[in-house]
């Protein structure tokens, strides 16, 4: 009943918006868009102090089967991020240095995978960032079809092809393509507000005062002893 398809033409957000979101970072964007869009905290980077943003090229494949990775790379445009979700739990290493070489040659800027990755040292050398659930060398097969550029659930988050993915050391967040510009605007406003607060906090002012929390705390009955 399920059809396996490759959607060849998807819309993407403007590159300037994507680049702007990369600068804002995961936590800011998550807050700016109303505390939605985070992937599960088990998604961890294989590198340190790297942030990236790109358009989601989504890939649904079977557990332990990376055939669709190859299919997906043909669909990649420069600036895309591969987003792979297996249809059931799998720690296998779906992606390594050869696929990264191919993806990078096509302009892919990273991988988000709710499964395993391998050749992590090589990937770091190549500056190809990955956020994964597992690191494991286990080989995969090429037997079962999946789909490319369909909506999917990856690490608890619903992702549509062309959505903007932002990933850094805090994890991964998805921004709906059609809201990306607005989220960027809201994120920048939030960064500006935060910068002002940061200066005050750095000078020793308290959040209790800056945010006027004392009355609320007293009203709920907090006692100082």
- 73-102: contacts with its own copies (CB under 8 A): 73-74, 87-93, 96-99, 101-102
Closest CB to its own copies among 106 and 188? 106
Is there binding between residue 58 and its own copies (CB under 8 A)?
no
Is there binding between residue 54 and its own copies (CB under 8 A)?
no
Q: How far apart are CA 5 and CA 71, in angstroms?
A: 10
Closest CB to its own copies among 6 and 79? 6
- Residue from the set 11, 15, 16, 139 that interacts with its own copies by CB under 8 A: 139
Cα distance between the two ends of the chain: 66
Q: Which two tokens stand for residue 109?
A: 């800027």
Sign of the C-alpha dihedral computed for residues 140, 142, 144 and 145 taken in this order: positive
- Residue from the set 15, 36, 77, 127 that interacts with its own copies by CB under 8 A: 36
Residues whose CB falls within 8 Å of the CB of residue 62, separated by 6 or more in sequence, listed in order: 86, 87, 88, 143, 144, 146
H or E element: which one contains 60? Answer: strand 52-61
Site pattern 185..204 for its own copies (x: CB under 8 A): -x-------x--xx--xxxx
- Residue from the set 15, 158, 178, 189 that interacts with its own copies by CB under 8 A: 158
Is there binding between residue 178 and its own copies (CB under 8 A)?
no
């Amino acid at each position: 009943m399920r059809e396996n398809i490759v959607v060849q033409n998807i819309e993407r957000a403007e590159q300037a918006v994507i680049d702007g979101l990369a600068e804002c970072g995961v936590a800011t964007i998550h807050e700016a868009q109303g505390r939605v869009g985070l992937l599960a905290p088990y998604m961890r980077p294989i590198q340190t102090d790297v942030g990236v943003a790109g358009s989601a090229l989504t890939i649904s494949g079977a557990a332990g089967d990376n055939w669709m990775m190859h299919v997906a790379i043909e669909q990649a445009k420069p600036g895309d991020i591969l987003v792979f979700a297996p249809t059931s739990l799998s720690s296998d290493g779906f992606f390594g240095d050869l696929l990264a070489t191919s993806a990078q040659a096509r302009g892919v800027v990273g991988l988000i995978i709710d499964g395993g990755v391998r050749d992590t040292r090589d990937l770091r050398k190549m500056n190809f960032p990955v956020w994964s659930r597992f690191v494991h060398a286990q080989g995969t097969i090429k037997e079962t079809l999946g789909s490319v550029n369909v909506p999917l659930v990856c690490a608890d988050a619903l992702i549509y092809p062309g959505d903007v993915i932002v990933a850094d050391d805090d994890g991964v967040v998805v921004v709906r393509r059609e809201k990306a510009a607005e989220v960027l605007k809201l994120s920048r406003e939030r960064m500006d507000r935060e910068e002002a607060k940061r200066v005050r906090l750095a000078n020793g002012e308290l959040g209790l005062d800056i945010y006027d929390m004392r009355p609320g705390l007293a009203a709920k009955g907090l006692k100082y002893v």
